[in-house]
Amino acid sequence: MLSLSTYPPSYPPLTSLPRFSYLRHPSSSSSSRIPSPPPPTTATATRVKITSSEMDSLPEHRIVLGCGAAGVDFLATVASFPKPDDKIRSTSLKVQGGGNAGNALTCAARLGLNPRLISKVADDIQGRGVLEELESDGVDTSFFVVSKEGNSPSTYIIVDNETKTRTCIHTPGYPPMIPDELSRSSLLSALDGARLVYLDGRLHETALVTAQETVCKNIPILIDAERKREGLDDLLPLASYAVCSSKFPLAWTEAPSISSALVSMLLRLPKIKFVIVTLGEDGCVMLERSTEEAPASEEKDVDSLLESLKQRKDDNIAIPTCYASVIYNFISY
């Protein structure tokens, strides 16, 4: 079944929604080889959390385990991207938590789930701030590895107001995490009671060990496939669900269109129950594997079907809307 989810024109863009919250600066007396950046010039994002009445409707066991990146983002907004050897001023600066796993698990906590995160930071200003902010949002950081030396992951992001683009300059954490830093007893403890395991493709060696143990316990795995990464091909066959960026399905399958790429992913990954590709302000597309057999005559070209779903979009609807097809046997070219 193919589904198209859309946002109305007035709906806030995803970039304006709270991610991993604003990172406060620890005291300057803390020892670190990385200097503390200046305070941001923009306001802290409002924290959105589920209400107590909404919590009552959630299942009792709602533990989500994540394994992946958590770090610090420095977002400098500029009027236009600098030319080589230019000196320009930013119009604003934000310092906030980043990393796909850090963002995803923070959102899970704010939705009322009980997330645990396996990751690694250094014992520096940024690393301590990351742990503090995650813990304040309700993310269990007891499975983090904290290195006494080195540096925590960080990303400098130049946001270009003229072209509405962003350029990321990433500094990986050092030393990198290795599987031996997560004992099997700690991994089993992290998995205890988990209903879902989230992997963002980072820390791929540790993620693979986590995924293999997860499969043994019959816990579903969700892969966040942002782009082709080292080790991701080993993780995808173990996944139950995949959420991809708009570029990943095309790059991974070399298919001619997004919709045919989703079909190719389901064919190549028999354990996958659904694949979602995110399209920014245009919403997302999901292809779900059905347990029911479609009639032999019910074959449909997947590209044509997606176009027909787009034609059903109603811009007068003021809330995000899902347009779903019936079950078909898909063909693609």
What is the structure's pLDDT at 40? 39
* Torsion sign across C-alpha atoms 111, 49, 157, 132: negative
Considering only the C-alpha atoms of the chain, give the largest distance between any 2 of them, rounded to a whole number of Å. 72
Mean pLDDT of 230-245: 97
The answer to whether residue 145 scores a pLDDT higher than 60 is yes
**Tens digits of residue pLDDT in 246-261:** 999 999 999 999 999 9
What is the structure's pLDDT at 316? 85
Question: In percent, how much of the chain has pLDDT > 70?
Answer: 81
Q: Identify the CATH assignment for 2-70+100-150+175-331 out of 3.90.180.10, 3.90.600.10, 3.40.50.720, 3.30.500.10.
A: 3.40.50.720
Q: Which amino acid is at 18?
A: P
The answer to whether residue 4 scores a pLDDT higher than 60 is yes
Is residue 297 within 8 Å of 328, Cβ to Cβ? no
**Tens digits of residue pLDDT in 50-83:** 665 665 666 677 999 999 999 999 999 999 999 9
The closest alpha carbon to 214, from 2, 68, 64, belongs to 64
Distances (CA, A) of 214 to 187, 190, 195, 225: 10, 10, 10, 18
Kind plus residue range of the DSSP H or E element containing 322 = strand 321-324
The answer to whether residue 33 scores a pLDDT higher than 50 is no
> What is the SS3 assignment for 168?
strand
What is the structure's pLDDT at 177? 97
The answer to whether residue 17 scores a pLDDT higher than 50 is no
**Tens digits of residue pLDDT in 279-301:** 988 899 999 988 776 565 567 78
- Residue 213 to residue 218: CA distance in whole angstroms: 9
What is the structure's pLDDT at 52? 59
